[in-house]
């Protein structure tokens, strides 16, 4: 198996060579090469896909890991439209999947070819379906949760425990700030993170799934005072973010936490794998922010992507067989143990103690991440709201105005 991290700037240079074609270096008369595109550390693909190659010696999985995940959508769309795209690829979920579906770039998957799909929870499988035709276009691979990750040593050194109330959390932040430690490593320069962090701190305030169901049924709108109050938590927490928070990048925030300059990092479960690699020696903990007005907090979560098959693959049978393995419990367990992320495959249990803790919390306090449910439209409501929250952090608009902009965008397609 050959893995090649590919930067966006050089993607088009591979266009002269179609995947799985005779000219591909890894291809031979004795083996079929399946090209797989995705993002993330290349060694993870190496470990996971080597297990499949061992079971199927006639197949070589040529995985390409793109180092610029934020540009991946454009990279993949370009590849699938031509003859230089992959046989299989990581696909975005929900609204972000639809452009590829509507362009006919993907192969619909049937349970006769991928039997494991019949066991998936419908809520998980929905993220890999065409919005209009209801067909399944991918094998869901991950369930992400959103929470606050913290440095256990910094907490212990300052006599801080995971907060039980909102006031506890603010008191901890004040104590850390007084000791010249940034309480929350967070930046608003990369605006895609803003709805995520708004969801971490605001979901309990607006009421989680009950509120989202009311919006879908048009009983409520995003101008509802509870939603406005929820996103306004970002303004209230601003004193505990880095200085000039709107100019701090996502990578900068990761570095602040990894280096021990910040005690907490509001983000996704995917950060655990990153910090395990880049913040070695830092013992990580997680907590769900308590509800500001008392009561239990909520941990948002969502299905994060799927493996899809290109409609242009030259090895349909082999690609479908590989997809069937990707839907198996064996792969799901390998995925969870390798990436420290919950597999979307039913029945997979995490072995990592911290993942077990998160799993227990999510079972009790889980909620739907709001933005994934309302990311449709052109421009997408997600893009509109991300910019609005950035403007809010800059002090150019109020929380009420940001909520109004989201509501107007959603009204164009809901």
Q: Is 358 helix (H, G, I), strand (E, B) or coil?
A: helix
Could you tell me which of 348, 97, 405 has the C-alpha nearest to residue 89?
A: 97
What pLDDT does residue 20 have? 39
Task: Give the pLDDT confidence score for residue 310 in this predicted structure.
Answer: 97
pLDDT at 42: 73
**SS3 per residue for 164-233:** CCHHHHHHHHHHHHHCCCEEECCCCCCCCHHHHHHHHHHHHHHCHHHHHHHHHCCCCCCCCHHHHHHHCH
Alpha-carbon gap, residue 340 to 413, rounded angstroms: 36
Look at residue 69 in the predicted model and tell me its pLDDT.
Answer: 57
Q: pLDDT (tens digit, 9 = 90+) per residue, 68-88? A: 656 888 899 999 999 889 999
pTM summary value: 0.86
Rounded Cα gap, residues 320 and 243, in angstroms = 50
**Kind and range of the H or E element at 400?**
helix 399-411
The parts of the chain modelled with pLDDT lower than 70 are 1-29, 67-70
**DSSP SS3 for 326:** helix
pLDDT at 137: 97
pLDDT of residue 65: 84
So what's the pLDDT on residue 94? 86
Q: Which residues pair with 145 in a beta bridge?
A: 301
In this prediction, residue 328 carries a pLDDT of 97
- For the stretch 40-72, pLDDT in tens is 777 888 889 999 999 999 999 999 888 665 688
């Amino acid at each position: 198996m050959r893995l090649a991290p590919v930067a966006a700037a050089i993607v088009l240079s591979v266009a002269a060579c179609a995947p799985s074609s005779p000219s591909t270096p890894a291809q031979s008369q004795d083996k079929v090469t399946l090209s797989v595109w995705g993002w993330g550390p290349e060694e993870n693909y190496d470990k996971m896909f080597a297990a499949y190659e061992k079971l199927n010696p006639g197949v070589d999985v040529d995985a390409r890991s793109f180092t610029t995940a934020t540009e991946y959508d454009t990279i993949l769309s370009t590849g699938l439209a031509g003859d230089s795209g992959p046989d299989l690829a990581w696909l975005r979920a929900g609204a972000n999947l639809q452009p590829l579906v509507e362009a006919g770039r993907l192969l619909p998957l049937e349970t006769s070819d991928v039997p494991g799909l019949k066991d998936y929870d419908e809520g998980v499988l929905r993220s890999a379906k065409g919005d209009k035709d209801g067909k399944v276009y991918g094998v869901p691979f991950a369930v992400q949760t959103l929470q606050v990750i913290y440095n256990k040593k910094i907490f212990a050194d300052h006599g801080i425990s995971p907060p039980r109330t909102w006031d506890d959390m603010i008191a901890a932040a004040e104590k850390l700030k007084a000791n010249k430690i940034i309480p929350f490593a967070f930046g608003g320069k990369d605006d895609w993170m803003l709805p995520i962090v708004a969801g971490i701190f605001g979901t309990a305030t607006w009421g989680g799934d009950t509120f989202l169901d009311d919006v879908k049924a048009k009983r409520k709108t995003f101008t509802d005072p509870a939603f406005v109050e929820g996103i306004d938590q970002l303004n209230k927490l601003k004193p505990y973010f880095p200085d000039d928070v709107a100019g701090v990048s996502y990578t900068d925030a990761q570095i602040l936490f990894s280096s021990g300059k910040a005690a907490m990092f509001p983000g996704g479960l995917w950060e655990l794998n990153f910090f395990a690699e880049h913040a070695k020696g830092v013992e990580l903990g997680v907590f769900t922010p308590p509800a500001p007005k008392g009561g239990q907090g909520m941990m948002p979560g969502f299905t994060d992507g799927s493996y899809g098959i290109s409609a242009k693959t030259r090895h349909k049978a082999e690609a479908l067989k590989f997809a069937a393995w990707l839907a198996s419990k064996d792969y799901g367990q390998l995925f969870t143990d390798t990436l420290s992320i919950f597999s979307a495959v039913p029945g997979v249990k995490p072995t990592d103690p911290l993942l077990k803790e998160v799993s227990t919390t999510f079972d009790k306090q889980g909620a739907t991440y709001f933005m994934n449910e309302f990311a449709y439209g052109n421009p997408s409501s997600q893009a509109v709201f991300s910019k609005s929250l950035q403007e809010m952090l800059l002090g150019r608009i109020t929380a009420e105005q940001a909520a109004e902009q989201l509501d107007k965008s959603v009204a164009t397609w809901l």
